[in-house]
Structure 1
């Protein structure tokens, strides 16, 4: 599907005494999957398609950024050979020697640093991020314009912007690492909610308890559970209501109060939305079921 793997020599791109090259490429089906002896940063500027990296096929769209270390094979393909299905890639390729005088500015234990200087040690043969806030789009487009203008000192400016991109990539790594650590708190968060659900519990209460901002907590919680904090809390409360309705004769309004609901109109509407029946019907259904089971057992 992709064809044989070619090898691209940096001498085809780099001008004399210039260790960096940028272009804006409209991808097609003619380029072979290839490796190269330089580092490449690829940014999807327009359209969508596929990125063949090593033996994987990754769907890509505007905002996807890849760092391709030396020796990693890859190629981009548009989603269709038709001309109306475009895939535009900004490419920044550079010799790693370009950053030798600056590598002390990068964190040596980062994936970004390893991909550039020690590619054989990379856990993954490439680095992929989604540019959700157009951080890298701005840098890449500015670099491309600077490369085309060739004003005095443009290589120095390009090097500075490349370092800026490296630092932003490392910050992205740190955010992901922080989120991974935060996810480890999920069991504790769930336990906390289940122990406090009868109280007037809010997002801010839980976020404060675990030293997180409310917005960050909500994003982590939704990503991990698939539910918002409010949805999860409602499910816990309604589940407890069902247990009490089945196992006790406590009046319904008292059960609602016990699980944290004082507004009976809201409680009845929520219970019906979650279970499909009213609290009274739910209790009656289980009482009738229990009587039927008892009758069957006495036959």
Structure 2
């Protein structure tokens, strides 16, 4: 049993690299996913994940599968879409979710078209679903750097982010940090999506943000504990997905997200904070 769990990582270098990559993604993406969930922006994360696709595709057209080109292109496209969606919602009658939905559809179609102009089906699958088993040193350094920046930034922004989740009106009444905090948070979302894009692709990158965060909510209602649990669930899902991929000969990226989905389903049923089993358990009269 131990050999089944430890053997693939001990024997193969690409498995160890993938392990480091998913741990780094979980460290940065888990806490970001918690705040996206608490701010009711879960689908915003999905829209932003697709928004980086055209920029990454342009980088691919210019330099092939180049890490710097695709990273810079994805960052630029993500920031442009975030700012544009905010401006449209501020100066027109269209709400931010509707504008993000429009950008999401356009970005996905444009990105796939751009990649198809030059690349093969293999390149398209690489962009859409990532290559977590083919991470090189430079990509690992990028993902680890993004996770480090995210953790440090969240340590600085923690109080205003929590206040904005709990009582944004109070935050606006006592401080002017609401708007800068929101913009910096969106920047962190884009950064983590770009990091996840290189490992899991644009279609799956947001999964390592939202599924562990959603699962953690069924185990705690404390924000700090939810952040820690989301990181732990992300790491466990990454390890479990890599092992499932290795032993069952499945694609690694989808296997990781399916494992995270299984943890979410188990939490939905068994979680102490609103899980189905606990809700169905008979309580004493007038017990909260």
Normalising by structure 1, we get a TM-score of 0.25
Normalising by structure 2, we get a TM-score of 0.26
Going by fraction, where is helix more abundant, 1 or 2?
2
Going by fraction, where is strand more abundant, 1 or 2?
1
**Greater RCO (CA < 8 Å, at least 6 residues apart):** 2
Highest CA radius of gyration, 1 or 2?
Answer: 1
